Amino acid sequence: MAKDVQITQQLLANLGYNPGPIDGSYGGKTKRALIQFYASQDKVFDGELSSNEIDALKTAVASAGISGSDNVNNKRFFTDQSDKNTDYRIHFIYLIDADGTDNQWI
């Protein structure tokens, strides 16, 4: 369960929501971020974290053009390629230490 929460927190963070620390703990900030995410989808979050939430978040991440994750030097990174339909692309990388600290966009 903690791993599912951590995945959910990371997906929420990459979509611009604040789930609190990426620590695998299902607390108030994570729940509020899920409520906000579902509200943006014109849906209501039932309060229970399941594979449905992870699937919905993964679909939203894919729709936003945010590509997967990988481990590089004990860091996970996520890339965002905005404005794919124009002549330029903006690339962002979000770094997270393996322990969930030192989060930053570069």
Asked if pLDDT for residue 97 goes beyond 70, the answer is: no
* pLDDT tens track for 15-47: 999 999 999 999 999 999 999 999 999 999 998
- What is the pLDDT at residue 66? 74
Q: What DSSP letter does each residue of the chain carry, written as one string? A: -HHHHHHHHHHHHHTT---SSSSS---HHHHHHHHHHHHHTT----S---HHHHHHHHHHHHHTTEEEEEEETTEEEEEEEE-TTSS--EEEEEEEETTS-S-EE-
* pLDDT tens track for 69-78: 433 333 344 4
- What is the pLDDT at residue 102? 58
